[in-house]
Amino acid sequence: MEWDHWCGGRSLHDIMPNYKFRNPLVKSYLKDNCWAIPPSTPYLLLNEIVGINIIEQPRVTWDGAVNPSFSTFYTSFFTHLEEVSWHKFIWHKRKSLRFSAYAWMALLGKLKTADLLLMKGINVLSDCSFCSTGSDNHSHLFFACDFSYSVIISLLPPLEVFLLRPNLLQTFEFFEDSQEFCCWEKIFCYFTICSSIYFLWRERNTRRFDNVWKSPTLLCGIIRLQAILAKVKNWKHYDDLNRRFDINR
Ligand SMILES: [Zn+2]
Query: Are 159 and 216 members of one domain?
Result: yes
d(CA 201, ligand 1 centre) in Å: 12
d(CA 176, ligand 1 centre) in Å: 26
DSSP H helical ranges for 40-141: 43-50, 70-77, 87-90, 97-108, 114-119, 138-139
d(CA 208, ligand 1 centre) in Å: 13
d(CA 83, ligand 1 centre) in Å: 32
The confidence score (pLDDT) of residue 118 equals 96
d(CA 212, ligand 1 centre) in Å: 16
d(CA 213, ligand 1 centre) in Å: 14
The confidence score (pLDDT) of residue 122 equals 95
Query: 48-52, 126-130, 223-227: which range is least confident on average?
Result: 48-52
Domain enclosing residue 39, as ranges: 12-77
Q: Which of 77, 102, 122 delimits the end of a domain?
A: 77
Query: Are 47 and 141 members of one domain?
Result: no
The confidence score (pLDDT) of residue 226 equals 94
d(CA 175, ligand 1 centre) in Å: 24
Q: Which residues have a Cβ under 8 Å from the Cβ of 134 and sit 6 or more positions away?
A: 127, 128, 140, 144, 145
Query: Are 72 and 98 members of one domain?
Result: no
The confidence score (pLDDT) of residue 135 equals 96
Query: Are 94 and 72 members of one domain?
Result: no
pLDDT category at 198 given cuts 50, 70, 90 is: very high
Widest distance between CA atoms in the chain: 80
Mean pLDDT of the chain: 90
9 exposure class (CB count in 10 Å sphere: 0-12, 13-18, 19+): exposed
Closest CA to 40 of 25, 12, 54, 20: 20
d(CA 99, ligand 1 centre) in Å: 21
- Report if residue 206 sits inside a domain: yes
d(CA 245, ligand 1 centre) in Å: 26
Query: Are 71 and 92 members of one domain?
Result: no
- Report if residue 230 sits inside a domain: yes
d(CA 103, ligand 1 centre) in Å: 18
Per-residue pLDDT tens for 109-126?
999 999 999 999 999 999
- Report if residue 4 sits inside a domain: no
Query: Are 16 and 130 members of one domain?
Result: no
- Report if residue 2 sits inside a domain: no
Q: Does the global pTM surpass 0.85?
A: no
- Report if residue 5 sits inside a domain: no
> Is 119 or 65 the better-scoring residue by pLDDT?
119
Query: Are 42 and 160 members of one domain?
Result: no
The confidence score (pLDDT) of residue 203 equals 97
Query: Are 154 and 208 members of one domain?
Result: yes
Q: State mean pLDDT over 162-187.
A: 94
| Total domains in the fold of the chain | 2
- Report if residue 7 sits inside a domain: no
Query: Are 18 and 119 members of one domain?
Result: no
d(CA 168, ligand 1 centre) in Å: 15
- Report if residue 183 sits inside a domain: yes
Main-chain dihedrals φ then ψ at residue 75, nearest 5 degrees? -65, -40
Q: Which of 25, 57, 77 delimits the end of a domain?
A: 77
d(CA 98, ligand 1 centre) in Å: 24
Query: Are 195 and 213 members of one domain?
Result: yes
- Report if residue 201 sits inside a domain: yes
In single-letter form, the type of residue at position 31 comes to K
